[in-house]
Amino acid sequence: MSEPKRLSKRKQKTPLPTEDQILEFIRESKGPVGKREVARAFNVRGPAKIALKAVMKRLQVGSDVTKSKRRFQNVGALLPVDVIEISATDNDGDLFAKPVNWSSEAPPPAILVLGKPERGKAYGIGDRLLARLSPAGDNAYEARVMKRMPTGAGKLMGVFELLPGGFARLRPTDRRYRHEVTIAAKDANGAEHGDLVTAEIIQTRHHGPQHARVVERFGKMDRVKNLSLIAINAQGIPHEFPDAAEKQARDAVAAPLGDRTDLRNIPLVTIDGEDARDFDDAVWAEPDTDPENPGGWHTLVAIADVSWYVRPGDALDQEAFKRGNSTYFPDRVVPMLPEELSNGWCSLKPKEDRPCMAVHMYIDAHGKLLRHKFVRGLMRSVARLTYNQVQAAIDGHPDDLTSSLVESILKPLYGAFHALLEARNKRGTLELDLTERQILVDRTEGHITGVVPRARYDSHKLIEEFMIMANVAAAERLEGSGYPCVYRVHEPPDPERLENLREALRSLELPVPTGSARPGDFNRILSKVRGGPHEHLANTLVLRTQSQAVYSHNNLGHFGLALKRYAHFTSPIRRYSDLLVHRALIAAGKLGEGGWDPTKDPDLDEITEHISFTERRSATAERETVDRFTAAYLGNKIDAMFNGRVNGVTRFGAFITLDETGADGILPMRNLPRDYYDLDEASHRLIGQRHGLVLRVGDPVVVRLLETDDITGSIVFAYVEGASQGRGENSKHHRQGKHRQGHHRQGERGRPKNVRLGKSKRSKQKRG
């Protein structure tokens, strides 16, 4: 690639490249290009970057250049012939790969592998292939395999199982991995039956299983801790700190008062869950004494001053950025920062001095934020409280700790909370009724003791509203300050999803939102169905209509919270985004060391894309681990019957969520009564044509537990015929008819036939 002409600062009177020059640079680049790469290539510095951003925003790309978010890429950025590695399979068995030689920090393009292996030579995860690559849309490619590379080595996690005759096999933890993997005795590396191991694929054949060798052992699979370890490894979550970061954390000492505001005389309290070990936010409130604000409140939110200990570019900062956030599992936490900070100097422990970033906020009697002021302080929490304690105390059942705090601290907090709640209701925040599962683990014995819906009290909502208000204040302070703000943005629903929702609501004779829709429109729908037969379905459909919240340095607003501006400020111990906001606030307010360092010139496009990715990565790992814990808990309840609801329908069956535990599982087509089934995607229904069984999202059902697999987290159900809940009773398409009995045998492997798709997006399948 030819190097673009560089101009010295002395001669650079017009530093901006033309649109044609930028496009040519993109075409010649091997990877994605953003503002940062263009600025470096053309030596654009300082204020000129603002003008460059405007030029790139209006850049008109041709057919040979694609744009994804704020990055551009030559559609030929991947070489026409290159080496790729199989990285995943989907439910249909399609193989997806990633380029082996991908050096960009941006996510690699998705590569769909076309065609079948020659002579039945199956490809598996970790296999490397030489392939011809061709563009197939936005950041996607299709690969036509030329040959398999000499080594198909790739790592795979699974359970080591001994077989008769001294042979062994690997049972993969990835439910999508469909190949049989055998391990010879000489390659077992000391593994014993039932061990969780990582193995390396060392040989694949034209026919038959793949062969592997054990490279790492983690102990028996029946250990609870291994359930979360599977997700940590599968998602590639960093969980060991480099020596430099560990040393920096160990060497940390107490922060001096110095120029900080002394807040130690204010009775701040922390309110967290029973099992919380890090306390990064504290709250306090009192009636506002300003006669011009009758009924108003003066509140204070204090947040651990992580920026004092983690400076831009140091070892802790690099590792915190790499992790992006802490990841929470039922039995452990993979923290963003070492324990010496997350549970030590950056944890607002009671009766101990701690540095903090704090914001004074003044609200009126109706919860409107009137003004705010950020300070860098030194605080001392008067008490570490739990949600249960606080709720019990405010309900009239205080304990020894809270009895002296009810009048002086808790009642003022609740007074301010009720004002904030009024403001929340007035602006029309989206109110979805969603239940979160809580896994109960005896950490001493290592046993799962239960799976229950997570309790949610007013004490939870109080902290939530205080944190939202502080986050809004942070965004307001930085807006127009000259310092960057990492916003938490949630865009309005995609028009296509919104239209699909309208179509589904019409079939239920429910009110249909018009135009672009606001959160209040969804709330009216949810209010109308509350307590009725369509409540679960409406909540599910509205949730699926929403966009995913992400981080951005552009203020796009927060649709769900009905806010014009919003940032994350309140958890810098566990979110890198909040640490960036703290640094900007320190610089904007001239509050001392550890603020935003413009000489580092961080690219916020790359940063926000990265931390949005790490958040999704953690969410996936947490969800998969909850599934594994739930499957393990239900493992001794095989053949038991459960009440549940249909949570989704597909051409291969239905997804079921159990009422009591919230466990999610699959009800395959083979485990439904024998019939022909239509999939009505518009109305989210499976319709039995001969015997009238209708399963629609939200319908109650009774199912029998057939099998669980705590390694993959999968749960399989069978439909229970004749049970009162399992009749799709709320569907006007349900026909009364006697269902044929005895066609949901456990272990039956009949595959649905007669798949038919038409203009109405319906597919017909025969069960049996």
pLDDT at 154: 61
> What is the mean predicted confidence (pLDDT) over 494-498?
84
Contacts of 495 (CB under 8 A, 6+ apart): 516
The kind and range of the H/E element at 88 are: strand 81-89
Number of H helices and E strands in the chain, helices first, is 15, 34
Residue 459 near residue 394, CB atoms below 8 Å: yes
Q: 635-767: CATH homologous superfamily?
A: Nucleic acid-binding proteins (2.40.50.140)
Pick from 36, 30, 34, 4: nearest CA to 17: 4
Summarize pLDDT for 716-726 with one digit per residue, the tens.
999 998 664 44
Could you tell me which residue, 162 or 734, shows the higher pLDDT? 162
pLDDT at 1: 42
Give percent of the chain with pLDDT exceeding 70. Answer: 84
At 464, phi and psi to the nearest 5? -60, -45
Count Cα atoms within 13 angstroms, Cβ side, for 714: 13
Lookup: tokens for 594 = 């550890």
pLDDT band at 756 (very low <50, low <70, confident <90, very high): very low
Cα–Cα–Cα angle for 713, 717, 720, rounded to 5 degrees: 165
Residue 232 near residue 216, CB atoms below 8 Å: no
Cα–Cα distance, 711 to 158 (Å, whole number):
8
Cα–Cα distance, 324 to 335 (Å, whole number):
10
Distances (CA, A) of 221 to 184, 191, 193, 228, 524: 20, 12, 9, 11, 48
Summarize pLDDT for 724-742 with one digit per residue, the tens.
444 333 333 333 333 332 2
pLDDT at 87: 77
Could you tell me which residue, 151 or 590, shows the higher pLDDT? 590
Q: Is the pLDDT of residue 207 over 70?
A: no
Contacts of 455 (CB under 8 A, 6+ apart): 387, 388, 438
Pick from 215, 330, 212, 219: nearest CA to 713: 330
Cα–Cα distance, 714 to 628 (Å, whole number):
7
Cα–Cα distance, 49 to 39 (Å, whole number):
7
Q: How many residues does the chain have?
A: 768
Q: What does DSSP assign to residue 326? A: -
Q: Is the pLDDT of residue 229 over 50?
A: yes
Q: What does DSSP assign to residue 290? A: -
pLDDT at 73: 64
The mean pLDDT of the chain is: 83
Integer distance in angstroms from the first to the last C-alpha of the chain? 60
pLDDT at 63: 53
Q: Is the pLDDT of residue 148 over 80?
A: no
**Residue given tokens 């930028």 in the structure block:** 22
Alpha helical stretches, state H, 145-251: 225-234, 243-250
Cα–Cα distance, 9 to 577 (Å, whole number):
33
At 535, phi and psi to the nearest 5? -60, -50
Rg of the chain in Å (alpha carbons): 29
The kind and range of the H/E element at 320 are: helix 315-323
pLDDT band at 282 (very low <50, low <70, confident <90, very high): very high
Alpha helical stretches, state H, 457-603: 458-478, 495-507, 519-529, 535-545, 576-589
Coil, strand or helix at 244: helix
Pick from 270, 524, 222, 231: nearest CA to 382: 270
Cα–Cα distance, 120 to 716 (Å, whole number):
30
Cα–Cα distance, 625 to 631 (Å, whole number):
10
Coil, strand or helix at 132: strand
Instruction: Please report how the helices 458-478 and 576-589 are oriented relative to each other, as an axis angle in degrees rounded to 10.
Output: 50
Distances (CA, A) of 174 to 197, 380, 652: 13, 47, 20
Residue 347 near residue 355, CB atoms below 8 Å: no
Provide DSSP, 55-86. Answer: HHHT----TTEEEETTEEEETT-S-SEEEEEE
Of the ranges 116-120, 398-402, 531-535, which one carries the lowest mean pLDDT score? Answer: 116-120
Residue 4 near residue 16, CB atoms below 8 Å: no
Residue 423 near residue 525, CB atoms below 8 Å: no
Residue 733 near residue 685, CB atoms below 8 Å: yes
pLDDT band at 701 (very low <50, low <70, confident <90, very high): very high
Residue 312 near residue 600, CB atoms below 8 Å: yes
Residue 740 near residue 691, CB atoms below 8 Å: yes
The 3-state secondary structure of 459-473, one letter per residue: HHHHHHHHHHHHHHH
Of the ranges 111-125, 238-252, 530-544, which one carries the lowest mean pLDDT score? Answer: 111-125
Count Cα atoms within 13 angstroms, Cβ side, for 591: 28
Question: Domain map of the chain by residue range?
Answer: 19-74, 81-148, 155-221, 243-487+559-619, 492-546, 635-767
> What is the mean predicted confidence (pLDDT) over 627-633?
92
Cα–Cα distance, 94 to 96 (Å, whole number):
7
Of the ranges 119-133, 165-179, 713-727, which one carries the lowest mean pLDDT score? Answer: 119-133
Q: Is the pLDDT of residue 71 over 60?
A: yes
Could you tell me which residue, 255 or 514, shows the higher pLDDT? 255
Q: Is the pLDDT of residue 677 over 80?
A: yes
Distances (CA, A) of 9 to 3, 13, 282: 18, 8, 49
Cα–Cα distance, 447 to 454 (Å, whole number):
19
pLDDT at 102: 66
Residue 743 near residue 673, CB atoms below 8 Å: yes
Antiparallel, parallel or unpaired: β 762-767 and 694-696: unpaired
pLDDT at 65: 66
Pick from 459, 348, 349: nearest CA to 393: 459
Antiparallel, parallel or unpaired: β 369-380 and 762-767: unpaired
Contacts of 461 (CB under 8 A, 6+ apart): 417, 421
Cα–Cα distance, 430 to 432 (Å, whole number):
6
Tell me if the domain spanning 155-221 has CATH number 3.10.450.50. Answer: no
Following CA atoms 310, 312, 317, 321 in sequence, which dihedral angle do they give, to the nearest 10 degrees? Answer: 130
Could you tell me which residue, 263 or 134, shows the higher pLDDT? 263
pLDDT at 378: 98
pLDDT band at 64 (very low <50, low <70, confident <90, very high): low
Q: Is the pLDDT of residue 589 over 80?
A: yes
Lookup: tokens for 170 = 């690997």
Summarize pLDDT for 434-487 with one digit per residue, the tens.
778 888 888 776 688 888 888 889 999 999 999 999 999 999 999 989 899 999
pLDDT band at 42 (very low <50, low <70, confident <90, very high): confident
Tell me if the domain spanning 81-148 has CATH number 2.120.10.10. Answer: no
Pick from 661, 663, 666: nearest CA to 649: 666
Q: Is the pLDDT of residue 697 over 50?
A: yes
Cα–Cα distance, 668 to 234 (Å, whole number):
26
Of the ranges 217-226, 384-393, 477-486, which one carries the lowest mean pLDDT score? Answer: 217-226
Summarize pLDDT for 549-559 with one digit per residue, the tens.
999 999 999 99
Give percent of the chain with pLDDT exceeding 90. Answer: 45
According to DSSP, the residues that pair with 587 across neighbouring strands are none
Lookup: tokens for 431 = 């109110």
Residue 515 burial by Cβ neighbours in a 10 Å radius (0-12, 13-18, 19+):
exposed
Instruction: Count CB-CB contacts under 10 A for residue 331.
Output: 19
pLDDT band at 413 (very low <50, low <70, confident <90, very high): very high
Domains 81-148 and 155-221 share a fold: yes
Instruction: Count CB-CB contacts under 10 A for residue 11.
Output: 6
Lookup: tokens for 534 = 């369509």
pLDDT at 412: 98
pLDDT band at 103 (very low <50, low <70, confident <90, very high): low
Coil, strand or helix at 376: strand
Of the ranges 316-325, 448-457, 466-475, 637-646, which one carries the lowest mean pLDDT score? Answer: 448-457
The kind and range of the H/E element at 667 are: strand 664-668
Lookup: tokens for 4 = 């673009």
Residue 424 near residue 465, CB atoms below 8 Å: yes
Q: Is the pLDDT of residue 101 over 70?
A: no
Cα–Cα distance, 151 to 298 (Å, whole number):
66
> What is the mean predicted confidence (pLDDT) over 34-53?
79
Distances (CA, A) of 152 to 36, 189, 454: 36, 20, 44
Cα–Cα distance, 676 to 311 (Å, whole number):
64
Residue 557 burial by Cβ neighbours in a 10 Å radius (0-12, 13-18, 19+):
middle
